[in-house]
Amino acid sequence: MSNEYTRITKDGLWDNNIVFAQILGMCPTMAVTGSATNGLGMGLATTAVMVASNALVSMVRNVVTPDVRIPVYIVLIATLVTLVDVSINAWAHDLYKVLGLYIALIVANCAVLGRAEAYAQKVGMLPAAADGLMMGLGFTFALTLIGGIREVIGSGTLFSNAHLLLGPAFAFLETTVITDYKGYLLMILPPGGFLVLGFLLAGKRILDKRLAERRVAPAAMPEPVAG
Amino acid sequence: MISLNHAPHAHAPMTVGQVMVTVMLALTPATLYGFWLYGWPAIFLWAVAMGTALLAEAVSVWLQGRAAKPALLDGSAALTAWLLAVSLPPFAPWWVAAIGSVFAIVIAKQVFGGLGQNVFNPAMAARVMLLISFPVEMTMWAAPMPITAAQAPGFMQGLAITFGGAQWDGMASASLLGHVKTEFTRGVDLATSLPAHFAAVHGGMMDAAWGSRAGSLGETAGLLLLAGGIFLIVRKVITWHAPVAMLLGVAAPALIANAIDPTHYLGVMPHLLSGGLMLAAFFIVTDPVTSPNTPAGMFVFGLLCGLLTWIIRSWGGYPEGVAFAVMIMNSLAPIIDRYVKPRIYGRDRKGQSLQIEAKGSAK
Amino acid sequence: MTLKQLGKLEKLRAMLGYPGAVLGGIGLLTSGALALADRATLEDIKAAQDLDMQQSLTQVLPGKYENDLLKDTVVLPGPDGELTVYRARQGGKVVAVVFKVQARGYAGPIVSMMGVDRDGKMLGVRVIKHTETPGLGDKIEPAKGEWIHSFEGKFLGDPPAEKFAVKKDGGVFDQFAGATITPRAVVKSVKGGLAFFAKEKTRLLEDGVQP
């Protein structure tokens, strides 16, 4: 049983990462990763939706028949997204001004429907919710990483406006990496997202290849695998 | 290493390296003229672009586990950097050239698989990237100040301009296309803005033809570029199809539009001699990698490049559209190839086997 | 779920109307949830939006005023259709008005909020919505540059109407290196706003009954 959750965790965070392995959810990945804070916010909002949608889908899996399952899942996901949308608008309005435009995009994030279809409808509520959480966190990790790289190269800052997302306590995250930076506009515009994603995908493949090689020949590389 | 290839064999009259050297030779007159016209900063900028490109090429090739020397000696990286350098504003800071070269070599060329695999022309991809990212630096044109002239920057001042970001009198000159576009946005039509521009910046159209005007390092000398292009056609490095078609693609709509409304559309000669058109027509759209394979395909490709250039110049947000037009058409080149197919050896245009007479009708 | 229940469910699932009923049922449930959420958040969202509006109003109204601007409005035909004008009062007298103006920038409409005092002198301008190029045109935001403050204290006459333009067009306002269209659009919209104020001055400053 615990093995199952280890696998869910590894899948969601790395092996089957929504962005870096499944290459799903490209629309939010490109649209909101102009800064690390935006990536983080979008990732967390998506995580909330995915946990709830996976749990709900798993809950209704015995009731819903195969012919209507897609419309049912879409209705459920759209409802959840709308709930997140109005909640953020009402109770985190400053964040809404930054992310508002993109929250509705979560409906169109095929990764949410993809997890419902590929996993949640086949298992119980607990593993389904765990899968939603881990997949969402993996997505958050990917978006924050891409956003961070784009932000540093594009505007020379990191986690700017973090206090809007996480509250004033997290203002310490806001750093100016390069002072007096003129900015590299390409990185903030959509092409920058594609470039950074491309290099990160290549980097992940190289890393995975190296790790696999080490696993095959543990005698040659006795030290523990760092990951 | 012995390589075994199946028949049919085709004989290539030149190696890749020889082609590259010939093209660089054809570019030399216009470039030298640019050096003379804009002085030391232009020379430094060119050197930075070349040096960075070769370094980027060497590092990329080394990362791929290949030997760097043959890749550097084929001259393709040097040519890319050269084409990029001549399309830059001559007084641009060094990092513009360096970032552009790295982008051209690493992202536009090596990431796609290296020489012969790139979808987009590396020099144009880098130029578009620079224009989008650094619009201020990329539109700081310098008025021509021949290197021998008194007001031209000297060697040390040149270093200060390229590497130290120093300003220089006459750096705020507008290119003709940029000037016309700016004046349009405030509602001044060509009848007023064109004479004002010529009076302020240079003598007239003949000066523009020789290249004595504000513009990119090596793009202004239209006639020298034309001469270089003809040299390449004579040496059979390129064919006439794409260049002629591209010039036609700009000239024909310019002629018609100018005849209909001369106050809103530039005439044929300013279009042909402005911006990067001459350079692109002979040195960019003729790039064998990023253009179609057949002569007919090349003609269509060139014509559409020209037409898009004219459209972007006339109605687009940017004053110059050559680089954008070339990149759009680069991505369409495979589609052109799909419809204008080369004949397969031993088959007719429709792909049917050729009938072999001697054996009679094979059943 | 017990075996018996499962058997029942199987029987149900075989019925023709079952999928439709499931879809309809879930549609009902979700609509209910949405309606509840809408009710629960409506007031908070309205309050947050009012606060937003209040903040942008205060930014262009540096002086003191005693009324709730959001409640003291007049609607007049403006340069781009109907225009809501917010009025600030002191001692029941209208001392300043705030309204929105817009113009086409480089990449889309630029909407600004401008505050004008009784004499037609500008108190402040803030761009509240724009899609200009980051790093170039966005210097119109107060966070990215001082430019937007250059309007403060200006009125039609100082500078004179023909000088109310960016420097490139022979006016007094700076343009940005590499971006002329954006500041030109803002200047144009502000000039239009001042003209609107001059035209409607009497109706705008009517003290009337304070609501």
Residues B223 and B33: their CA atoms lie apart, in Å, by 11
Domain assignment present for residue C39? The answer is: yes
Chain C contact set for A97 (CB, 8 A) = 52
Which residues of C make CB contacts under 8 Å with B?
A: 106, 133, 136, 168-169, 177-181, 184
C211 within a domain of the structure (yes/no)? no
Smallest Cα distance from A217 to chain C, Å: 49
**Record: contact B135-C136, CB cut-off 8 A:** yes
Give the model's pLDDT for residue B88: 92
How would residue B197 be classed by pLDDT, with cut points 50, 70 and 90?
low
B266–chain C nearest CA distance, Å: 22
Whether the predicted pLDDT of A227 surpasses 60: no
Q: Are residues C161 and C81 in the same domain?
A: yes
- For residues B152 and B169, the answer to whether their CB atoms sit within 8 Å is no
Q: Per-residue pLDDT averaged across B29-58, rounded?
A: 92
What percent of chain A lies above the pLDDT cut of 90?
41
The verdict on A195 touching B (C-beta cutoff 8 Å) is yes
pLDDT value at residue B70: 85
Which DSSP letter does residue A14 get? I
| Residue-level length of chain C | 211
pLDDT of residue C88: 86
The number of C-alpha atoms within 13 Å of A177 and in the hemisphere containing its C-beta is 17
**How near does any CA of chain A get to the CA of C35, in Å?**
10
State yes or no: pLDDT of A16 exceeds 50: yes
Looking at residue B130, its pLDDT comes to: 93
Q: Please identify which residue in the block is written with the tokens 């005092």.
A: C117
The CA–CA distances, whole Å, from C138 to B132, B226, C26 equal 15, 42, 46
The C-alpha angle with vertex A89 and arms to A85 and A93, in degrees rounded to 5, equals: 140
- The predicted structure's pLDDT at residue C208: 63
Q: If pLDDT is split at 50, 70 and 90, which confidence band does B157 have? A: confident
Q: Which chains touch A (3 or more CB pairs under 8 A)?
A: B, C
Question: C84 with C18, same domain?
Answer: no
* Cβ–Cβ contact C52 with A under 8 A: yes
Closest residue on chain A to C136 (Cα): A185
The mean pLDDT of C133-137, rounded to a whole number, is 71
**For residue C4, what pLDDT is reported?**
61
Q: Pick the residue with more confidence: A218 or C41?
A: C41
Identify the pLDDT of residue B170: 58
Cβ–Cβ gap C33/A89 under 8 Å: no
Q: Are residues C188 and C108 in the same domain?
A: yes
Smallest Cα distance from B54 to chain A, Å: 21
Query: Looking at domain B16-339, does it have CATH number 1.10.3470?
Result: no
> Which residue matches tokens 């909002």?
A45
- Strand stretches in chain A, DSSP E: 157-158, 175-176
- pLDDT tier at B146, thresholds 50, 70, 90: confident
Which pLDDT score, from 0 to 100, does residue B206 have? 56
When pLDDT is cut at 50, 70 and 90, the band that residue B196 belongs to is low
| C108–chain A nearest CA distance, Å | 16
Task: Mutate one of A182, A194, A197 to test the B interface: name it (highest B CB count within 10 A).
Answer: A182
**Contact present, C27 and A72 (Cβ < 8 Å):** no
Interchain proximity B133–A184, CB inside 8 Å: yes
User: Same domain, yes or no, for C118 and C20?
Assistant: no
Q: Which residue has tokens 């909640």?
A: A87
On whether both C106 and C177 belong to a single domain, the answer is yes
Residues C105 and C168 in one domain: yes
Highest mean pLDDT out of B75-79, C14-18, C58-62 = B75-79
A and C: number of Cβ contacts within 8 A: 68
Q: Is the pLDDT of residue B363 over 50?
A: no
The band of B87, judged by pLDDT with boundaries at 50, 70 and 90, is very high
Question: Is residue A20 a contact partner of residue A201, using CB atoms and an 8 Å limit?
Answer: yes
Give the residue with greater pLDDT, B326 vs A41.
B326
Both C13 and C108 in one domain: the answer is no
Residue A226 has pLDDT above 50, yes or no: no
Q: Does C28 touch chain A (CB under 8 A)?
A: no
Chains that touch C (3 or more CB pairs under 8 A): A, B
Average pLDDT over residues B235-240: 91
How distant is the Cα of C200 from the closest Cα of chain A, in angstroms? 33
Give the per-residue pLDDT at C3.
Answer: 57
**A71 part of contact set with chain C, CB < 8 Å:** yes
The neighbouring-strand residues paired with A157 are A176
C211 — pLDDT class (breaks 50, 70, 90): low
What pLDDT is stored for residue B244 in this prediction?
95
Q: Which chains touch B (3 or more CB pairs under 8 A)?
A: A, C
Looking at residues A99-126, what average pLDDT do you find? 87
Tell me the chain C residues in contact with residue B186 when contact means C-beta distances shorter than 8 Å: 168-169, 184
- Tokens 């199946």 locate to B6
Whether C128 and C196 share a structural domain: yes
Residue C157 has pLDDT above 50, yes or no: yes
Instruction: Classify residue B341 by its DSSP letter.
Output: P
**Which residues, 6 or more positions from A219, have their beta carbon under 8 angstroms from its beta carbon?**
none
CB nearest A183 (choices: C1, C33, C135): C135
Contact criterion met (CB below 8 Å) for A44 and A141: no
Helix, coil or strand: residue C87 = strand
- CB-based contact A185 B107, cutoff 8 Å: no
pLDDT digits (tens, 9 = 90+) for A169-225: 788 888 888 887 878 888 888 889 999 999 999 999 999 999 999 888 665 545 554
Which residues constitute the domain of residue C8?
3-47
Q: What is the ipTM of this complex?
A: 0.81
| Least confident stretch, B11-20, B86-95, C16-25, C92-101 | B11-20
pLDDT (average), residues B49-76: 91
Instruction: Using a pLDDT cut of 70, give the percent of chain A over it.
Output: 95
CB distance B126 to B101 below 8 Å:
yes
pLDDT of residue B173: 62
Q: Where are the domains of chain B?
A: 16-339
pLDDT at B203: 47
Number of domains in chain C: 2
Supply the DSSP string of chain C, one letter for each residue: --HHHHHHHHHHHTSTTHHHHHHHHHHHHHHHHHHHHHHHHHHHHHHHHHHHHHHHHHHH--S---S-GGGSEEEEEETTEEEEEEEEEETTEEEEEEEEEEEE-SSSEEEEEEEEETTS-EEEEEEEE--PPTTTGGGGSTTT-SGGGGGTT-BTTBS-GGG-SBGGGTSSB--BTTB-HHHHHHHHHHHHHHHHHHHHHHHHH------
Residue type (1 letter), A43: G
Residues near B324 by Cβ (< 8 Å), separated by ≥ 6? Answer: B128, B308, B312, B316, B318
Q: Do C45 and A86 touch (CB under 8 A)?
A: yes
The span from the CA of A107 to the CA of A81, in Å, is: 6
For residue C152, what are its two tokens?
């403060």
d(CA B181, CA B317): 8
Q: Which residues, 6 or more positions from B140, have their beta carbon under 8 angstroms from its beta carbon?
A: B89, B91, B92, B171, B172
Nearest residue on chain B to C106, alpha-carbon basis: B317
Q: Which two tokens stand for residue C80?
A: 């781009």
pLDDT at C35 over 90: yes
